[in-house]
Structure 1
Amino acid sequence: MKRLLLFLVICSMMEVSYAQSKDEKAVTQAVENLRKAMVDADKAMLEKLTDARLSYGHSGGNLEDQATFVKQIVSGHSDFVTMDLTEQTVTIVGNTAIVRHKLAADTNDSGKPGTVHLRVMLVWAKEGGEWKLLGRQAVKEPVKN
């Protein structure tokens, strides 16, 4: 009886860790899809991946809603030529995910080439089985001496 109980406890723990792993993978894929959609200026994908209530904060203090965020990317006002994400962590709490990473990108905002180095926090919400970006805040990467 004790062995059966132990077996059931271990099995239930494995089920919980599998579910978390599945969500972490789904969120990681959503982040990658967002990165690609931003580089490709893919309006349909940007709208699909973001929540209508999106709050998108830039490192300079600008705040955008979903419509403005999508318009800025698609119009080329915010143009990511390349974007690399590193040191990414994903934390799942219920139907919410917090993602943190470093972002390094080559940009061509309104035709002006540049580079950015940011630390970013994304908040994703799971609705109807899909992860949608609900919030984003970036800060400039500290200058190393």
Structure 2
Amino acid sequence: MMKKVLIFLFAIQLSAFSAFAQSKEEAAVAAAVETLRKALVDADKATLENIAADALDYGHSNGKVEDKAEFVRAIVSGESDFVTIDITDQKIQLSGNAAVVRHKLSGTTNNKGQAPGTVKLGVLQVWQKQKGGWKLLARQAVKI
């Protein structure tokens, strides 16, 4: 009987540990999303280059798709200029070394120095754990 109780308690402890580890990874992905959000607003070249995977595939709501170099250049040059970004309704789903993030993004833009505009987007991001950190591998936005 005692053996069964010990096995049961061990299983519960193992389950609790697994749930904690998953929550920790979800928090790490959420932190990476926030780092990206801030780097987009600040046009922070070093952070954008660090957070983006080398194989980045970045899709805009108008159908334009950029690789890592094009994405970073567009943000840093002001061609794509986010003045503010607010993220809501974020959901994170983990699968091994990958994470799928969906959220709604609303913000203001000043693309190519034009008068401020507004965006309301549904965003899908794919993150991959590389060398111990989460990197943005793909992103696609749609207008909502």
Which of 78, 81, 99 lines up with 1:79 in the alignment?
Answer: 81
Q: Give a deviation string over 1:30-52, Cα, whole Å, max 9, x none.
A: 00000000000000000000001
Which of 137, 140, 143 lines up with 2:143 in the alignment?
Answer: 140
Task: For 1:6 and 1:81, locate their aligned partners in 2 and report how far apart those are by CA, in whole Å.
Answer: 54
- Tell me the TM-score normalized by structure 1: 0.96
Which of 125, 133, 137 lines up with 1:130 in the alignment?
Answer: 133
Q: Give a deviation string over 1:85-118, Cα, whole Å, max 9, x none.
A: 0000000110000000000010000011211000
Aligned residues: 141
Counterpart for residue 106 of structure 1: 108
Which of 122, 126, 137 lines up with 1:119 in the alignment?
Answer: 122
Counterpart for residue 38 of structure 2: 36
Counterpart for residue 13 of structure 1: 15
Counterpart for residue 92 of structure 1: 94
- Tell me the TM-score normalized by structure 2: 0.97
Task: For 1:17 and 1:66, locate their aligned partners in 2 and report how far apart those are by CA, in whole Å.
Answer: 34
Counterpart for residue 49 of structure 1: 51
SS for the counterpart of 1:12 is helix
SS for the counterpart of 1:83 is strand
Task: For 2:26 and 2:39, locate their aligned partners in 1 and report how far apart those are by CA, in whole Å.
Answer: 20
Give the fraction of aligned pairs with identical amino acids, expressed as a percent: 55
1:4 to 2:6 alignment: yes
SS for the counterpart of 2:73 is helix
Which runs of 5 or more residues in structure 2 are unaligned?
Answer: none
Task: For 1:22 and 1:127, locate their aligned partners in 2 and report how far apart those are by CA, in whole Å.
Answer: 16
